[in-house]
């Protein structure tokens, strides 16, 4: 037996040693036996206060549908008053579908569930939400709804569903895949009995029971492969006391779990790939070190960081330039991957991941995006801001601005190490230089071109006033100084002075960003 299969078995045994499963099932059975199935078709909820935890049982009528199971879904989207699960919204996944019969029961009992939610949020004990068949599906929906408002300092509720229909489509599965909520669900399933359809996909952890053994897994694809058995339009009530009792009986001989090795191997491969996908946070410190190397490269650039890289891109003259290009690629790969992972997470969970990487991402964007801009314009392209910018830069900037962090920049502070705040600054310089070139040869539309240069001048002056631009832009030989000299000629000697032109003509730029005592 390989290590992956053994781990699944051992985890399954560990779950069975807990008294949670038999205790939960005994409460479910008690409610089930006290309900008249022929007369009562509403959702029943019963609370059992225990010493260690509080058990809440959801009991629902048996489901017999008159329409195909694949179509028994309700699509949810929109505002909180239209969608009780609006907090699961993803920018790339604006809607998802859930099991219609379960949602109808959930919605019909909304007033009772609001009261229950309020009571459970006061509980200092672990909350266990459980149910069988359709009752387990409603318990799952309630858990999704409840966990969003649970104090992060307290233990999250655990939902244990026995033989219950899956409640969400592929979109919901994708939303929950990278969510902390995924750990709140334990589905106990008899491999030969649980209903699976193409419309609904698994999430959470599954304890899959075979004849005398069980495995515990959280890989959705493996769950789908193992539970592809009986498919019926009826959610059948199954007495899981018999299933659980069989699993805890000691075996006379050691048996081998009858699961195809191919299934286990595929699961192991997916686990390895998933680990690589979540690796970005583990690698964050390494990325910070790589950024420190780039900052050293910046300090040693006599013509300016941007222009040194741009010049040496044409023909690298040292191993340092070659290594810098490799570092840039590694950093880009890392941050593109991290942004993709954050975007997969529900809105309410993004803050934790974003906060841990917020400032590092802000500095990375200001440090590396100028180098991408240099490559972009070297390839003869234009309009970087509107057509060439990578989405991951846009998202990093958006997330940082959303925090509304106001940097402190006092007069007289040394700005020699400052990274220009607007990481697209050099793209605007390149565009301004192209406008300068056009004015030399173009006779028609010159007013529009002059207007563009005036807007660029105003943009630069605002950043100078706010001390948001690096002093390196004023180094002799920089692209910015090249633009300025050409712009000065274009404006001519008799043009009305502006704050910016006076600043440049009076050589105040030479002392910009220097400590007060060195000016």
In 3D, which of 352, 403, 348 has the Cα closest to residue 149?
Answer: 348
In 3D, which of 40, 48, 144 has the Cα closest to residue 102?
Answer: 144
Distance CA 299, CA 403 (A): 29
User: Which residues lie below 8 Å from residue 29, measured CB to CB, with a gap of 6+?
Assistant: 239, 241
Distance CA 157, CA 121 (A): 10
pLDDT at 190: 85
Measured on CA atoms in the order 415, 421, 423, 425, is the torsion positive or negative?
negative
Instruction: State how far the alpha carbon of 501 is from the alpha carbons of 429, 489, 495, in Å.
Output: 16, 12, 10
pTM: 0.60
Distance CA 331, CA 393 (A): 12
pLDDT at 454: 93
Distance CA 310, CA 479 (A): 10
Q: Quickly state the pLDDT bin for 43 (edges 50, 70, 90).
A: very high
Q: Quick one: three-class SS letters along 407-459?
A: CCCCCCCCCCCCCCCCCCHHHHHHHHHHHHHHHHHCCCCHHHHHHHHHHHHHH
What's the average model confidence in pLDDT over 94-113? 91
**How many CA atoms within 13 Å lie on the side-chain side of 50?**
17
pLDDT at 247: 73
Question: In 10 A of CB 255, how many CB atoms?
Answer: 11
Which pairs count as long-range contacts for 439-442, CB under 8 Å and 24+ apart, including other chains? 439/490
Q: What are residue 48's DSSP bridge partners?
A: 55
In 3D, which of 131, 166, 111 has the Cα closest to residue 57?
Answer: 131
* DSSP one-letter string for 226-271: HT-----SEE----HHHHHHHHHSPPSS-------HHHHHHHHHHH
Distance CA 327, CA 220 (A): 36
For Cα atoms 430, 434, 440, give the angle at the middle one, nearest 5 degrees. 150
pLDDT at 229: 52
pLDDT in tens, 228-286: 654 444 566 788 988 888 776 654 334 445 566 666 677 777 666 665 555 556 778 78
In 3D, which of 191, 96, 180 has the Cα closest to residue 206?
Answer: 191
pLDDT at 347: 60
Question: In 10 A of CB 441, how many CB atoms?
Answer: 6
Q: Quickly state the pLDDT bin for 297 (edges 50, 70, 90).
A: confident
* DSSP label of 472: G
Distance CA 10, CA 259 (A): 15
pLDDT at 369: 97
What is the tally of helices (H) and strands (E) in the chain? Answer: 19, 11
Q: Angle 284-299/305-314 helices, nearest 10 degrees?
A: 90
pLDDT in tens, 430-474: 999 999 999 988 888 888 999 999 999 999 999 999 999 999 999
Distance CA 433, CA 484 (A): 9
Distance CA 57, CA 55 (A): 6
Entry field: residues in the chain: 519
**How many CA atoms within 13 Å lie on the side-chain side of 332?**
15
pLDDT at 255: 46
pLDDT at 219: 84
- Of 21-25, 285-289, 432-436, 482-486, the least confident: 285-289
* pLDDT tops 80 at residue 301: no
* pLDDT tops 80 at residue 195: no
């Amino acid at each position: 037996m390989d290590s992956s299969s053994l781990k699944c078995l051992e985890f399954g045994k560990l779950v069975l040693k807990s008294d949670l499963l038999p205790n939960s099932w005994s409460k479910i059975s008690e409610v089930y036996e006290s309900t008249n199935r022929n007369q009562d078709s509403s959702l029943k909820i019963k609370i059992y206060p225990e010493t260690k935890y509080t058990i809440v049982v959801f009991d629902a009528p048996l489901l017999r549908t008159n329409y195909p199971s694949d179509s028994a879904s309700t699509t949810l989207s929109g505002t909180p008053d239209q969608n009780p699960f609006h907090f699961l919204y993803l920018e790339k996944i604006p809607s998802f579908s859930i099991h219609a019969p379960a949602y109808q029961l959930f919605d019909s009992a909304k007033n009772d569930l609001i009261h229950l939610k309020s009571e459970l949020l006061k509980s200092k004990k672990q909350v266990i939400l459980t149910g069988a068949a359709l009752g387990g599906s409603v318990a799952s929906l309630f858990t999704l709804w409840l966990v969003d408002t649970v104090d992060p300092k307290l233990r999250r509720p655990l939902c244990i569903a026995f033989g219950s229909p899956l409640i969400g489509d592929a979109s919901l599965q994708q939303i929950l895949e990278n969510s902390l909520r995924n750990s709140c669900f334990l589905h106990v399933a008899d491999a030969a009995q649980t209903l699976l359809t193409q419309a609904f996909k698994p999430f959470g952890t599954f304890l899959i029971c075979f004849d005398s053994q069980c495995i515990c897994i959280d890989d959705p694809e493996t769950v789908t492969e193992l539970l592809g058995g009986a498919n019926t339009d009826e959610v059948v009530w199954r007495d899981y006391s018999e299933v659980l009792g069989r699993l805890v009986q000691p075996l006379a001989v050691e048996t081998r779990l009858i699961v195809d090795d191919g299934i286990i191997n595929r699961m192991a491969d997916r686990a390895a790939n998933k680990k690589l996908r979540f690796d970005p946070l583990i690698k964050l410190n390494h990325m910070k070190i790589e950024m420190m190397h780039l900052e050293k490269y910046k300090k040693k650039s006599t013509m300016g960081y941007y222009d040194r890289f741009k010049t040496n891109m044409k023909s690298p003259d040292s191993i340092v330039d070659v290594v810098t290009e490799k570092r840039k690629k590694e950093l880009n790969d890392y941050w593109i991957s991290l942004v993709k992972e954050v975007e997969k997470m529900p809105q309410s969970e993004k803050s934790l991941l974003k906060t841990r990487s917020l400032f590092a991402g802000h500095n990375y964007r200001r440090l590396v995006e100028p180098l991408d801009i240099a490559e972009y314009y070297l390839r003869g392209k234009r309009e970087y801001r509107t057509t060439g910018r990578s989405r991951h830069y846009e998202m990093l900037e958006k997330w940082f601005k959303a925090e509304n962090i106001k940097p402190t920049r006092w007069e007289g502070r040394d700005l020699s190490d400052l990274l220009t705040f607007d990481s697209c600054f050099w793209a605007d310089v390149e565009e301004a230089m192209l406008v300068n070139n056009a004015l030399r040869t173009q006779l028609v539309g010159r007013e529009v071109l002059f207007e563009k240069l005036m807007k660029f001048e105003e943009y630069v002056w605002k950043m100078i006033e706010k001390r948001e631009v690096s002093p390196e832009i004023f180094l002799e030989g920089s692209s910015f100084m090249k633009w300025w000299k050409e712009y000065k000629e274009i404006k001519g000697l008799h043009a009305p002075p502006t704050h910016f032109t006076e600043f440049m003509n009076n050589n105040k730029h030479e002392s910009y960003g220097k400590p007060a005592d060195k000016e």
